[in-house]
A and B are shown apart, each in its own frame.
Chain A
């Protein structure tokens, strides 16, 4: 099938994700985040030389793994113009609990992994159905489905846990090349999605719809189809996060996914993904999430209690939103 978008000129590259597409705007963001990260590492290392240890690398990379994957899923939603998927916490725990449930019943791990991803995709499709057919605001719909999903899970179970004595759980706490096993799927995903978004047809459609839905529709891009695709893919990615979450965590209750919401949204905005849609680099998520994941570890080395983490992450989110707003105004001029 040849749709209009395939033959139409490519979307404005300055509004696309990817390495080339984000220069110079993405390059500026990368420089700011990288600079802040290096300053943080240097300050922590000077204050406590033992900060620069393999233990710190492990602590930061374990934190990065789930947050990074969720941030990729959230970035796709943002770039497509749907602003945010606030139901990610429920999708994460739903997928993780299905994984734990299947493993307890002896289902082979590959089947379980696929099931976890499909659960996430199904959740995304359910969200998309309500949004598209109800013509409702995505952020309100996902807020509501998050509440509903969490409440329904509470009716079914109080705690879930993958079998501790299993290869699956071993995978969640061991390493490959000195870094956590669960960190590598995150890196691969960021690189893969970051490569595909500006280069694939669906990726270009997503950015076009996020940038200007009316112009995209005029060029023959189906808003409905794009929204279904984005939510399904994003949901599947959250499902993958749920699989790794179940592998790397102990017992979890239905509401625990909410702890990821703040660092994920901060990571997405800090990576320069515009919540207004149509702009952002997936690859920069690696940098923003690395920075945000270093903050809590660094705070402990400086002697701050863990209660301060949310304070700093919230402050960083505000700064990131301010930078995003400033950048948008500058582009308008």
Chain B
């Protein structure tokens, strides 16, 4: 009897030890795993920073984080979707500038039942988080129009559009939106004064193209520049500087990439900030946190009725001097209380 009791106690102790060991080895419950595919375009600091911010916020929450780069390549974006699925992530954030492949990504993630947040480029079935690019474009165009009205009474010789066709619909919304905003303020600028060129969103590409366009309009003395982003617009400004026509040109950019810090071109009059690097605050606050808590919100995939809307912030060059550069903004954002956005921190109130 004593032997049997001893054996029972020994068996129970063994089982208890085994259970304790297995609990110790398995650790806490498996962490939520967030995947992020950054854009991977080479144009801008903020693309890399988007991943850095998402990673920092995921770390604050104790989540696992997997970052891949889409390399601005639709084939890579598709391969990345397969990797996320194989890696069994719980949710994905996509910034995929090559929107033509988004339906393929949606089909893959949909079949795997993985919720996806998309930044700025709407896709059916993906939570839309981002700017209203058209509204941002119009805001920038109106800001430029006000300057043109004050300075030249809207009597403009040339309106240059630094397009970035590779950005697809985003380019149409932003650059076209800027023209629309300009027309709101200066409706009488003739259509033949509007000239587009391909700047690819990069100053180095836009510069020679704009130089040729300006050479082909040697008599233009009052020139406005709009475009996809600050880089593309800056190319036109620098072309005018090279041709000795810097005082003839006023430009307004988009995305705020090159209007902060102490190395700003004086002919860039302003830009529309989206604080792109900080989008993860919106995505996590309004979509990913509820998913991680087991309460996924209803999918809102329309840019007009988004899961989370980022506010555009038009800023003059003068006001932009008070806004830190990308690295400084990221540091301030990560030090701010949870849920604080860069718009809250940096957008001038007036």
Tell me whether A300 is interfacial, beta carbon within 8 Å.
yes
| Contact across chains for B241 and A173 when beta carbons are under 8 A apart | yes
CB neighbours (8 Å) of B235 from chain A are 250
Q: Which residues of B contact A158 (CB under 8 A)?
A: 42, 44-45, 47-48
Q: Could you say which of B197-205, B295-303, B333-341 contacts chain A?
A: B197-205
Q: How far is the CB of B44 from chain A (nearest CB, A)?
A: 7
Report the bound CA distance from A163 to B219 in whole Å.
30
**CB-CB under 8 A for A300 and B243, given A159-B44, A173-B238, A251-B203:** no
Known: A154-B42, A249-B238, A306-B198. A58 touches B204 (CB 8 A): no
Interface size for A (C-beta < 8 A) is 39
CB <8 Å contact, B216 and A48: yes
Pair B218/A58 contact, Cβ less than 8 Å = no
Known contacts A163-B263, A180-B242, A253-B202; A306 and B209 CB within 8 A of each other = yes
One digit per residue, 1 when the CB lies within 8 angstroms of any chain B CB and 0 when it does not, for chain A 31-66 equals: 000000000000000001011010110110011000
- Chain B binding site: helix, strand, loop or mixed by DSSP? helix
For the complex, give the distance between the alpha carbons of A299 and B205 in Å.
16
Q: Does A254 contact B (CB under 8 A)?
A: yes
Q: Number of B residues whose C-beta is below 8 Å from A?
A: 39
Check B42 against A250 for contact (C-beta < 8 Å): no
Whether, in the assembled complex, A297 has its beta carbon less than 8 Å from a beta carbon of chain B, the answer is: yes
Interface residue? A248 (CB, 8 A): yes
Chain B CB within 8 A of A305 CB: yes
Give the residue of A59, A249, A250, A305 whose beta carbon is less than 8 angstroms from that of B243.
A59
Q: Is the CB of A300 within 8 A of B215?
A: yes
Contact at A305–B196, with CB atoms within 8 Å?
yes
User: How far is B266's CA from A68's CA once the two chains are assembled, in angstroms?
Assistant: 30
Q: Which residues of B contact A256 (CB under 8 A)?
A: 42, 202, 204-205
B234 at the interface (CB under 8 A from A): yes
CA of A299 to CA of B258 in the docked complex: distance in angstroms? 30
B contact residues around A250 at 8 Å (CB): 203-204, 207, 231, 234-235, 237-238, 258, 265
Given pairs A250-B204, A250-B235, 11 additional interface contacts (CB within 8 A) = A55-B243, A58-B244, A158-B45, A164-B264, A249-B207, A250-B238, A253-B42, A256-B42, A259-B204, A300-B215, A305-B196
